[in-house]
Structure 1
Amino acid sequence: MNWTARPLRLATDSADFEAQFNQRLHWSADTDSQVETAVEGILADVKKRGDAAVLEYTARFDALDVTAMAQLELEARELKNAYNQLPAQQREALQAAANRVRAYHVAQKRATGESWSYRDEHGTLLGQKVTPLDRVGIYVPGGKAAYPSSVLMNAIPAQVAGVGEIIMVVPTPRGEKNQLVLAAAYVSGVSRAFTVGGAQAVGALAYGTQTIPRVDKITGPGNAYVASAKRRVFGAVGIDMIAGPSEILVLADGTTPPDWVAMDLFSQAEHDELAQSILLCPDAAYIEQVQQAIDRLLPEMPRAEIIAKSLSGRGALIHTRSMEEACDISNRIAPEHLEIASHDPHLWEPRLKHAGAIFLGAWTSESLGDYCAGPNHVLPTSGTSRFSSPLGVYDFQKRSSLIEVSEAGAQALGAIASVLAHGEGLQAHARAAEMRLKR
């Protein structure tokens, strides 16, 4: 079948631009009530029955007929064997990607993840102690596709942060194990791995079972059931984010080959029919060239149906008055992935405040960030980059304040605290400070 993709064509100088633009951006994160009901039941059952519930749901949803949890845990030697038995080209690419991801997160830890302290004029020590989480769980999607890159992006920053134990869960429908995923777990330092997925895996990580240990935080993407489960267990454990459909925004000045831009739009559209791909450009003729490239290249794509539905249903080619206006619109969208397809990307980058990741210049395809550039590919979606950040070392650490008040400091601070505590009507607070004051 010859699929056609017709992203919505918009122009910022048209009278109805705002209405059409807002309608195209709209995406509801509300989950289906049936999903919510099912997830609530699964989590309650896993919390109550532990391993027995996990086995039952794994048999039902993944068609794995096993009788003991030991059959769902991957042994360390199986991960290592998967790595050793990969074709040399795949093994070398996986290791190179892991090395780059690890190097980036080591640099991130040096910049943001160290403890610090200082002493004030009274000799009082004030500071912050940074410590890693004890145990984290990473969810790796399985089923329709396998994502070894997700293993790297979730496990490596946890390992760099110093997390004591990394527990991986991955569904393996009908027992089909992806060797690249297992190999990625090996090179990423995963401690234990279980072939469990869905809401039951999230519940097992959040509450603990007789076999799967309870973790402090759960990271990694999944389907609607996984997202709903993560939302429900937040509070019992930490979570990274609730991710929506994937997004790419290309900010183009017309100097990048249009075929490159068309394929970059495809790169997110092929994920999901709800994925969003948007082009912002002040050159109308160039926008038409990109549309022609879409028409020409789409029939070559194995996932043409998904791409066509995504681009036609949620995509947009937007003609702007200028690159400056394009930057302003980009900040309103706050996309997950933002490409600056320009001969001088550094001219525009200072104007761009909100994006999960910014890809500078024509040579920087978003796919390089997905796999091997180094920065994390777990990014905020649905406009949440206005207030949240990519997954990083800091997500696997916590901070404790350090306060050591000197005798002199107790005199200065105690008088201040006493006044404020009395003002709040908390006399014991005031007395605790006053008792340390010299009479």
Structure 2
Amino acid sequence: LGQMVQPMRRVGIYVPGGLGAYPSSVLMNAIPAKVAGVAEIVMVSPPSSEGERLAVLAAAEIAGVDEFYRVGGAHAVAALAYGTESIKPVDKIVGPGNAYVQAAKRMVYGVADIDKMAGPSEVLVIADNRAHPEWIAADLIAQAEHGSGDEAAMLLTPSASMAQRVAEAVETALKTLPRARQVEAALVKRGAMVVVNDLNEAFDLANQIGPEHLELDVRNPSRWLPKVKAAGAVFLGPLTPAPLGDYLAGPNHVLPTGGAARFASPLGAYDFLKRTSIIEASMGAIAALGPTVAHLARMEGFEGHARAMELRNGAANGTGAGRSRNGKAKNQLAKSR
């Protein structure tokens, strides 16, 4: 028994556009694919009213992207999965995107593989009474400014005073933020500050939510890490905000969202590999296992499976081609003809 582990031949990476340019997403998607040994990397990204995003093009060149198509949204996902006159289909589609992109990925799964539900962005902060309210406010705003309007930003704290101070800090910060209107709309739609009884309750709630980014702005954050059961990435301590992971910390920023952290993992080189099982039997193995295989096959109602096994079993036992149970195999085969 063994395995062959091989890279996928052709993969598609989705790089969001909208209000922002995301060269970081190009790198986060393409570099693991290159490390895995993918032969062809195809990138799609929606056009911008501002024209070509040169940083995105530069990142694609640096990361080794082979093809780039200026198309976005659900139709870009469909093009990657099914192919068009100009875009050949891919084996797998990866990358973050808005709710429409993620819905499209879910719909094409089976025609092509997908990585996970990765977007819209989410952050959940667990904070105690020693946290910096201005820092927490900045982190909530950071994840709410992506532009889809469906981003989620949440604070769980046992301190009512901390929740109030963070709310005030958000209002202050929005006064000078370039995208204040979009951020405010996202926070109104999917923002929350919840006062819990204690930190244990905060972690219980966080595990039910399964956030993309989980920030632990508490004393001795590593002591609380074993309490985390569902999160895309965990950021320990006040000096480690989610934007550090978005850009340069190292672990991938393509993370499970929408509660998918209960079963999904960050994007990595392993997502671009596939495994093939290898099985080879000897005469001894057939002699030892053959009767049990035939018995199980008949239990499930598959006589053809049993006979295929018994033919080998007969050869292994030195009885020629072998006969089925009660010697009826040849007669039954003749009748079927």
**TM above 0.5:** yes
1:265 CA displacement: 0.8
1:388 CA displacement: 1.6
Question: In the alignment, which residue of structure 1 is the partner of 2:191?
Answer: 315
- Looking at structure 1, the residues matched to 103 and 142 of structure 2 have their Cα atoms a distance apart, in angstroms, of 26
- Looking at structure 1, the residues matched to 155 and 100 of structure 2 have their Cα atoms a distance apart, in angstroms, of 31
Cα deviation code 1:44-84 (max 9, x no counterpart) = xxxxxxxxxxxxxxxxxxxxxxxxxxxxxxxxxxxxxxxxx
Aligned residue among 132, 140, 147 for 1:265: 140
Question: In the alignment, which residue of structure 2 is the partner of 1:211?
Answer: 86
Q: Which amino acid aligns with 1:153?
A: M
- Looking at structure 2, the residues matched to 347 and 367 of structure 1 have their Cα atoms a distance apart, in angstroms, of 23
- Looking at structure 2, the residues matched to 175 and 274 of structure 1 have their Cα atoms a distance apart, in angstroms, of 23
Question: In the alignment, which residue of structure 1 is the partner of 2:57?
Answer: 182
User: Which runs of structure 2 are paired with 1:114-263 in the superposition (5 Å)?
Assistant: 126-173=1-48, 176-223=51-98, 225-263=100-138
1:299 CA displacement: 0.9
1:350 CA displacement: 0.3
Q: Which amino acid aligns with 2:168?
A: Q
1:219 CA displacement: 1.6
Query: Is residue 302 of structure 2 the alignment partner of residue 426 of structure 1?
Result: yes
Question: In the alignment, which residue of structure 2 is the partner of 1:121?
Answer: none
User: Which runs of structure 2 are paired with 1:274-423 in the superposition (5 Å)?
Assistant: 274-423=150-299
Higher Rg = 2
Provide the secondary structure at the position in 1 that maps to 2:175: helix
Provide the secondary structure at the position in 2 that maps to 1:218: strand
- Looking at structure 2, the residues matched to 198 and 256 of structure 1 have their Cα atoms a distance apart, in angstroms, of 39
**8 Å CA contact retained: 1:343, 1:362:** no
CA 1:358–1:428: 2 relative to 1, 3 Å = same
CA 1:175–1:211: 2 relative to 1, 3 Å = farther
Q: Which amino acid aligns with 2:231?
A: A
Q: Which amino acid aligns with 1:414?
A: G
1:193 CA displacement: 1.6
Aligned-pair Cα RMSD in Å: 1.9
Q: Which amino acid aligns with 1:241?
A: K
1:158 CA displacement: 0.8
Q: Which amino acid aligns with 2:10?
A: R
1:157 CA displacement: 1.0
**8 Å CA contact retained: 1:345, 1:361:** yes
Higher helix proportion, which one?
1
1:398 CA displacement: 1.0
- Looking at structure 2, the residues matched to 153 and 232 of structure 1 have their Cα atoms a distance apart, in angstroms, of 24
Cα deviation code 1:155-183 (max 9, x no counterpart) = 11111111111011223346811111011
1:154 CA displacement: 1.0
Cα deviation code 1:287-319 (max 9, x no counterpart) = 222223223222121111122222233211111
**8 Å CA contact retained: 2:95, 2:118:** no
Q: Which amino acid aligns with 2:150?
A: L
- Looking at structure 1, the residues matched to 119 and 77 of structure 2 have their Cα atoms a distance apart, in angstroms, of 18
1:223 CA displacement: 4.2
User: Which runs of structure 2 are paired with 1:31-110 in the superposition (5 Å)?
Assistant: none
- Looking at structure 1, the residues matched to 11 and 218 of structure 2 have their Cα atoms a distance apart, in angstroms, of 40
Cα deviation code 1:340-391 (max 9, x no counterpart) = 1123111111011001111111111100111111111111111111122222
**Unaligned ranges ≥5, structure 2:** 320-337
1:133 CA displacement: 0.5
CA 1:243–1:292: 2 relative to 1, 3 Å = same
1:130 CA displacement: 1.3
Higher mean C-alpha displacement, 297-306 vs 225-234: 225-234
Q: Which amino acid aligns with 1:267?
A: A
- Looking at structure 2, the residues matched to 324 and 199 of structure 1 have their Cα atoms a distance apart, in angstroms, of 40
TM value normalised by structure 2:
0.87
Question: In the alignment, which residue of structure 1 is the partner of 2:326?
Answer: none
1:153 CA displacement: 1.2
